[in-house]
Structure 1
C-alpha cells in the first residue's frame, strides 16, 4: 500500500515530522510511506485559471497516486498552522486531489492536549466541498508532551502510545482498503465533485 505523510508545518524542528518518521519506520512492512514537506511551498495566492505552482502540483500528483494520506499537524492558537492551511487552499482551489482520498489525521504538540483542537479543525476543513476527503472516523492519535516523547534514535518512548498508534494505523489500513474498494465498485462522481465552484453556490468557500 502506498501512503503519503504530510508534515503539517514549516518548522524545521517539528515533532510532527518525528512522528511521521516513526510511523514510516515502524510500519514499513505494512505500507510504503513517503514523507512530504510543505515548508518550501509558496503562500496561497489566488492563481489565474486555477493553475497550481509547480511545487504544489508535485505534491498534488503524489497525493493523487497514493492509496491514502496521513496528515500530522501541530496546534497553533487552537488551530492548524497557517502553512498547512495555505497548502490546503492551493489544493482546494486548483487540482483537488484529496477528493474521496482516505485521510488519517494525527498530531503532536508540546503541551498535554496533543493538538486535539487543531485536529478537530482540520477534520472540518477537509470536509469542505473543494477538499471532501474521506476522513477516518472515530479515531485520532494525540501525542502530547512531544518534546519528551522520542529517544535520541527517534523511537517513541511510551509503550502505551506505541500500542495506541499501532491500533490506529492498522485501522487506517483497513479503512483505506475498504474505502478504495467502495469507490471502485460504485460511481460517486468524483470527477463532478472536482468541478464544484462557489461561483455557482450561495456562499462560503474560497471566495472574496
Structure 2
C-alpha cells in the first residue's frame, strides 16, 4: 500500500486544515497509509552557516524522503500561506532538499468563501523554486470554504459533493504518485541535492 505524508501547514491548535487531513486519513485508509505531521514545533528559519538542519527539520526531511508522496494542507493568511509553513519550506530548501522530485498534492481550508485559493496558487510558486522543485499535481485544487461549518460532529465533511470532488482528486493523486516515481526512478541523477552559483564566492 502507498505511504503518504500529510503536512498540517499551520501551527494553529484549532486548525480546520488538520480536520481536513484527519478526514482524508480516515476516508482513504484502504487506499493509502497516511501519516499526519505537525510543523508547529519547527523553529523559525535562521540560515545556518554549515547548512545543518535542526533535529526537527531533519525528522521531517526523513519522513518526506521515506514517503511515496506528500499532501500539504494550508489555510490562507493575507492572500498567502502561514509564516510557519513558509519558514519550514525555507529550512528544507536550504538544508536537506527532500522535496526535489517528490509528488505533492495541495489542499486547503479557510474561513472565507474562496477557501485557500490564493494561498494554494502562491504555494505552487514556492514549491516550484529550484531548491524545492516538488512535482506538484497539475490541474487540481481542493478548497474548503467556510471551513468552520464544513464538518459534522465526527469530523466528516458534511457536503457530499465536496467528498465526491475530493475522492476524484485523491484517486488522481494515487496515479500521479505512481507515474511520477516511475519517471524519477528512470532518471535518478535528478534526485541529487542541488547547488547554485549564488552560493559561491565570485
TM-score (norm 1): 0.93
Determine the C-alpha separation between the residues in 2 that align with 1:179 and 1:82: 29
Determine the C-alpha separation between the residues in 2 that align with 1:198 and 1:149: 47
Determine the C-alpha separation between the residues in 2 that align with 1:196 and 1:164: 39
> Residues 41-52 of structure 1 correspond to what in structure 2 (within 5 A)?
41-52=42-53
Compared CA separation, residues 13 and 80, structure 1 to 2 (3 A): same
| Cα shift at 1:186 | 2.9
> Residues 162-201 of structure 1 correspond to what in structure 2 (within 5 A)?
162-191=163-192, 194-199=193-198
Q: Residue 49 of structure 1 aligns to a residue in which SS? A: coil
Return structure 1 stretches of 4+ with deviation > 3 angstroms: none
Determine the C-alpha separation between the residues in 2 that align with 1:113 and 1:163: 19
Q: Residue 50 of structure 2 aligns to a residue in which SS? A: helix
| Cα shift at 1:48 | 2.0
- Could you say which residue in structure 1 is the equivalent of 2:110? 109
1:97 aligns with 2:102: no
| Cα shift at 1:189 | 2.2
8 Å Cα contact 2:184/2:190 also seen in 1: no
> Residues 8-157 of structure 1 correspond to what in structure 2 (within 5 A)?
8-157=9-158
8 Å Cα contact 2:72/2:107 also seen in 1: yes
Q: Where does structure 1 lack aligned partners over 5 or more consecutive residues?
A: 202-208
8 Å Cα contact 1:129/1:196 also seen in 2: no
Determine the C-alpha separation between the residues in 2 that align with 1:84 and 1:185: 31
Determine the C-alpha separation between the residues in 2 that align with 1:144 and 1:106: 11
Q: Where does structure 2 lack aligned partners over 5 or more consecutive residues?
A: none
Give me the CA root mean square deviation.
1.1
| Cα shift at 1:196 | 2.0
Deviations 1:40-97 (A, max 9, x none): 1100000121000001100100001000000000000000000000000000000000
Q: Residue 85 of structure 1 aligns to a residue in which SS? A: helix
